[in-house]
A = this chain, B = another copy of it.
Amino acid sequence: MASRSTAPRGKRPSRARTPLSRDRIISAALELADERGDFSMRALGAHLGVDPMAVYRHFRDKDALLDAAVDAALATLRPPAPGDGSALERLRSICIEFRSALTAHPGIATRVSTTQPTLGPHTVALTEATFGLLVELGLGRADATKSFLMLIRFITGAVSAEERARAEETSDTPWQEQMRAAYASLPPEQFPNLAAMAEEVARTDLDIEFEYGLDLVLEALARRGNPGPSVNA
């Protein structure tokens, strides 16, 4: 009983066949975000071959659509099974997967909110699993809560910074070179540390950088969870 097609003979006949749905709108929005790093409701309408206002039948406003898109972006993220290594290894892999899911859809990371959580199925599953791993590491509920908030903020902040780095790159000058040139432009005798950073920055990339920061945090978390007096002795 889906065919209420009268003569589908208009300017845009094929669009009328598959009517709008929340899922179709969300994936179109993510597609646009992938291309530009942002999207407008009007561009979304055009992309769907539909009046921009048609979207408002399915989502109250742009905010509500973005919330749904955040959850959808996390759909590819599958929490590791209990047998997939130690709690620390599983926590590490969940963080890396979380970053990948955010990186795949620029502009989404800034929308991840712990204070007004989306409560979509994927967000909820991620939260439940991550908190569980923190407790498994040996953290009490109070520390696990603060650690969870800290981890999410660190990862979304890092991904946002990465996106800005990528957006500022031009085709022939990667962000490392831009940063190097900026720091190298200052008098080295007055700013020796900036000069040192200018030299070093070529040897990083965004993946190395993220994992370095993540491992710092995870190392500290593991030690709080399991405070043995001599871990490496």
Contact = CB atoms under 8 A, between A and B. Distances in A.
A54 interface: no
Q: Is the interface of A mostly helix, strand, loop or mixed?
A: helix
B145 A204 contact: yes
Interface residues on A, range: 35 or more
Interface string A125-167: 0011001100100000111111111101110111011001100
A98 to B, nearest CB: 14
A220 to B, nearest CB: 4
A208 interface: yes
B127 A193 contact: yes
B220 A216 contact: yes
A197 interface: yes
Contacts of A212: 143, 146-147, 150
B221 A164 contact: no
A43 to B, nearest CB: 21
A115 B179 contact: yes
A164 B115 CA distance: 8
A156 B230 CA distance: 34
Interface in A211-233: 212-213, 216-217, 219-221, 223-224, 227, 229-230, 232-233
Interface string A195-214: 01101110110001100110
Contacts of A182: 116-117, 119
Interface string A56-97: 000000000000000000000000000000000000000000
B157 A124 contact: no
A184 to B, nearest CB: 11
